[in-house]
Structure 1
Amino acid sequence: MLARSFTSLAALALAGLSLAQSSDSSSSALSSSSATSATASQPASTDSSSATTTGSTAQETPGFVNNGTVGAYSCAFSEPQQANVTAPVNQLVFLADAPNVTATDGSDSSNISSPARLAPTTLAECAEAWPPVYPYNAIQLRAPDDSIRAVYLPYGASVSELWVKDRNGVFRDVVLGFDNKTNYGTDKIHPNFGPQVGRYANRIKNGTFEINGTTYHTPLNENNYDTLHGGTVGYDRSPYEITQLNASSVTFVLHDADGNQGFPGSVVASASYTLQNSSTLIQAMDANVTDDKYSPIMLSSHTYWNLAAYNESQTILNHTLFMPRADKYIKTDGHLIPTGPIPDTKGTPLDFTQARTIGSQYNDTEGVCGTNCTGYDTCFVMSSHDRNETVLELTSPESGIKMSVKTDQDAIQIYSCPGVSAPATKGSLPRKRVHGGDGTLDEIYDNNSCVVVEMEDYIDGINNPAWNRSQIYSKDRPYHWRAEYSFSTVE
């Protein structure tokens, strides 16, 4: 049970809920889709399509997908007139912001032990919006000093929401995602919203690689040309087990069988997220081969960022990007597959060793993100860096939020979202309501409105031996990945 983020049994009783489905109490509210959520680490059933929620019993609820709308049900949101507080329509109202809100049974809820819980409004009338069960159940965390809040899902060990304060002290959700948590597993576009990616992140040329004279084949799941992020069912599409959980930290573990997606060796992979004081997120990823085989492993976090949180505008092109150690980049073909050379960034539109906006040389990047594409989808290489130094800073001029990153990885993939919306070919993605969405596809995540930052090793290093990257692991050589994300503000 979360000591600070989980509601007490008394608080659950106020909402008219029971714990029939889980031995853990329901989590309290950062989620934009409901006021409570279960936290089962193992699925009672992987079928999330059959049950509904009725009365006061928390049964399996699939949420909703493709039934005429997308996103969260509007009744899951606290309206000003309902919560008796002043707040914008479709914004989350926390008990911390409204301590005198009256619960649905008429009692004063100001003494409830979870200040992050949504103000009780229409739960009894909005049973269809109760959260889905494993692996789409929301795990809410907060730092001990409440400087940073986050929501994670067992599906893909994904971050669904990440809340930090802007220059005015107001929380903003700075990551893209779905209001409806079940969409993470059912959306056909599948944008990799916030998961751990593996067993091998990024691309593998021709879906083939060789280990000790044996050639292995992995799915050609991108343009029928290469393997992207581990294959058709990579780590991003897998349900994880929760092995550790407290108020500010969670660890997810995945058992990846020998031969899955064509990869040799049985692997146990984990992803840990810890929220610390002073708006700091620590991420740790580990993997261990458990049999006598050898396997390529490269993990990463695939989060879409917009540090303005779609408040004043959507664009990411006015965000300032600074990568002082990114002095080289991996040259690729039109399919973003490495061709061998690792040239200098100096004198190119890929040079961010001096801070500048992402859009400052945007018109000079044609072909950088693929054939006939303008923007960035590039693996930047750091010839050297200290594991304790900041290697990336991303800043929004509108919110004043700055993200500073430290890592033990030697490369950074930057994707500026030039193709996140492509209605003619693959469709569009609805914005979360806190990002200005309205529950339909009228408000979408537009191109160039986000940026993905992947800390990792060299893309397709297993097929480029001249680079001398050591990306093959065994039971005698475990895999480790670390990154620290610190959030601050600038004027």
Structure 2
Amino acid sequence: MTMEPFGQVDGVEVGAVVLGRAGGVQARVTPYGARLTELWVPDRAGVCADIVLGHADAAGYVATKAYLGATCGRYANRIAGGSFVLDGRAVQLDQNEGAKHLHGGRAGFDRMIWELADLSDRAVTLTAESPDGDMGYPGRLSMQVRYWLDDADRLWIAMEAQTDAPTVVNMVNHSYFNMAGSGSVMGQDLRLGATHYTPVDADLIPTGEVRAVAGTAFDFNALRKIGAKLPSDMGFDHNWCLTGPLEPKWGEALRFCAEAVDAESGRRMEVWTTEPGVQFYTGAFLAGGLPGKDGAPIAPFTGFTLETQRFPDSPNRPQFPSARLEPGQRYRHLMAFDFTPAAG
């Protein structure tokens, strides 16, 4: 298998590769941002649709800041003030969302052209390096992202990293899902494996509290319409604290994260992960008029994210799960997406 043309980034040709088979689950991946650009999934009648938002070529991704399908890091999500203290030393990061640091900064992992390390019909491995001081982060980081389809047509994403000095790492996949393939996601159903979430302030920074979801708009313990109850007109952009323990699942130790269903088509997806949290975001800030792959505009609430992660602002919140990585340790973040038809 070889890369197919996908366009240019800063004068450099980048390609894309398709994993899987026509008529079944297929994934398309590009080295630009180690990014998932397409994910074709059959409905209960076997009709496939692309269930992730994206653009037709590399130029579309270069022109936007929506992180569609990207691998984000070194620290995805938000860090207050773009700063934290590590071993008594103040670390100042790039501030790219007001005074905050978001998704690794203006030149985060989503803006890198990753190296193709390995490729087959059902798997692709991409590698990159982040030098010491990159966007302000200490330590040189060596990273790897692998996408693959197993024999049951589950999509797996493994993000790994090693450092030569103490640092913080929180890599995520930032795909926007739409289980119908188009239209608003507000009528689609979601269940989250979480009894608590982390409230945020007006800048979307966690307050430090871990609050129960029971009796609130944040309660997705049972499958329900995404738009049935919203905390505001802006929908959701919050971290849920995943409740379940790691358990043996498909040869790995994973915890349940989410179930998403489009009742009309019958597409159903379960997400499992190694991480303690998930950022569920309903895409309120997706700018109307962004060109989608099929020519239809990408608009607010046409996709939702399930970014499994360490909690936002963890480097400033010792009560949250640690994102610290030491030399000699290996960061490994695993996601599994399992597709089975919903009952008709």
Query: Shared fold by TM > 0.5?
Result: yes
More relative contact order, 1 or 2 (CA 8 Å, 6+ apart): 2
Of the three residues 59, 66, 81, the one matched with 1:182 is 59
Identity, % of aligned positions: 29
Q: Which residue of 2 aligns with 1:307?
A: 179
Which structure has greater strand proportion? Answer: 2
Alignment of 1:46-61 (within 5 A): 47-48=11-12
TM-score normalised to the size of structure 2?
Answer: 0.93
Q: Which residue of 1 aligns with 2:281?
A: 415
Q: Which amino acid aligns with 1:320?
A: D
Residue 356 (1) aligns with residue 228 (2): no
Q: Which residue of 1 aligns with 2:325?
A: 473
Alignment of 1:22-421 (within 5 A): 26-27=2-3, 37-38=4-5, 47-48=11-12, 133-134=13-14, 137-142=15-20, 147-185=24-62, 187=63, 189-222=64-97, 224-289=98-163, 291=164, 293-310=165-182, 314-323=183-192, 325-362=193-230, 365-366=231-232, 373-387=233-247, 388=249, 389-421=255-287
CA distance in 2: counterparts of 1:346 and 1:477, whole angstroms:
37
Describe the SS at the equivalent of 1:489: coil
Q: Which residue of 2 aligns with 1:454?
A: 307
Please say which structure displays the higher CA radius of gyration.
1
- How many residues are aligned here? 337
In the TM superposition, residue 471 of structure 1 has moved relative to its aligned partner by 1.3
TM-score normalised to the size of structure 1?
Answer: 0.66
Of the three residues 409, 432, 449, the one matched with 2:293 is 432
**Is the Cα–Cα contact under 8 Å of residues 197 and 235 in structure 1 kept in the other structure?**
yes
Describe the SS at the equivalent of 1:230: coil
Give deviations 1:302-351, integer Å, cap 9, x for gaps. Answer: 001111111xxx1101111011x311111110110011111101111000
| Runs of 5+ unmatched residues, structure 2 | 250-254
**Is the Cα–Cα contact under 8 Å of residues 32 and 58 in structure 2 kept in the other structure?**
no
**Is the Cα–Cα contact under 8 Å of residues 23 and 46 in structure 2 kept in the other structure?**
no
**Is the Cα–Cα contact under 8 Å of residues 146 and 277 in structure 1 kept in the other structure?**
no
Q: Which amino acid aligns with 1:193?
A: L
Residue 482 (1) aligns with residue 334 (2): yes
Q: Which amino acid aligns with 1:138?
A: A
After superposing on structure 2, the runs of 4+ consecutive aligned residues of structure 1 that deviate more than 4 Å are none
Give deviations 1:180-209, integer Å, cap 9, x for gaps. Answer: 222212x1x321010111000100100001
Describe the SS at the equivalent of 2:297: coil
| Runs of 5+ unmatched residues, structure 1 | 3-25, 28-36, 49-132, 367-372, 423-427, 438-442
